[in-house]
Amino acid sequence: MLDSAVQRTNMVAAQLRTNDVRDARICRAMETVPRELFVPERFESVAYMDRVIELAPNRVMMDARCFGKLLQLAAIMPDDIVLDVGCGTGYSSAILALLAARVFALEEQEELASTALLRLQGLRTENVEIVRGVLPSGDPAHAPFDVIVVEGAIEERPSALLDQLTDGGRLVAVRKEGAAGYGCLYIRHGNAIGERNAFDAWLPVLPGFAKPRGFTF
């Protein structure tokens, strides 16, 4: 079996660079953080495959391609403050910690939040704070944020999160429209929100971000 450093290099080469993720900081971060430390033990052997990985019911770690493209879309700067919505076991926050000044890792499931704290402490990641709370509500106590990354799909505009962006702030997520999905960028311009779809993507809908279903008879 290849060692994890080689697997990370191969992942970046095959899953990021071939999909137009050219940002050197993102590639370097994803070559640095040991992805296998953040997946359930039964998935360690497939941690670097091109696939989502189940962390808990209805919760997944994004595939590297989708995550890398969302990060590139967000254009994270070294002095940015980032909110990581649905941080899961902390892998996404560990990557974000290498790109931004400070990361608030929002998680509502106690077991996932506890795992994230342990893994991030093990890597001596000092600029990430784990925050417990309801995901669609964001983290108003630490707002505003320069960037918000949503670790799953959404089915409608996340208004509460968008309200927590700075002027010029960016939110990235996979937006699900029927059977299709798109990596989507939202940007705040004063009181207005611009948005655009950037690439095809698929993720399960993050709990709390599904569109309300109408009554059926």
Ordered structural domains, the chain, with CATH? 4-200 (3.40.50.150)
Q: Say if CB 150 and CB 206 are below 8 A apart.
A: yes
What distance in Å separates the CA atoms of residue 201 and residue 186, rounded to the nearest whole number? 16
Given a cut of 90, whether residue 146 has pLDDT beyond it is: yes
| Model confidence band, residue 2 (pLDDT cutoffs 50, 70, 90) | low
Q: Which pLDDT band, with edges at 50, 70 and 90, does 217 fall under?
A: very low
Report, as an integer, the average pLDDT of 75-79.
Answer: 98
How many beta carbons lie within 10 A of that of residue 193, not counting itself? 16
pLDDT over threshold 70, residue 92: yes
216: left (phi over 0), alpha (psi -120 to 50) or beta: beta
Count CB atoms within 10 A of the CB of residue 211.
Answer: 11
- Do 84 and 105 form a contact (C-beta atoms < 8 A)? yes
Q: Is the pLDDT of residue 128 over 70?
A: yes
- In angstroms and rounded to an integer, the radius of gyration of the C-alpha atoms of the chain is 16
What is the pLDDT at residue 214? 61
Amino acid at 85: V
Residue 32 identity: T
Cβ neighbors of 163 (< 8 A, separation 6 or more) are: 138, 143
The first and second tokens of residue 90, run together, are 């902390």
Q: What is the pLDDT of residues 151-163, one digit of tens each?
A: 999 999 999 999 9
Residues 6+ positions from 91 with CB-CB distance below 8 Å? 33, 35, 37, 38, 39, 61, 119
Provide mean pLDDT across the span 165-191: 95
Look over the chain and give the mean of its residue pLDDT values, rounded to a whole number.
94
Give tens-digit pLDDT for 17-34. Answer: 999 999 999 999 999 999
Single pTM value for the model: 0.95
Helical segments of 22-77, H only:
24-32, 64-74
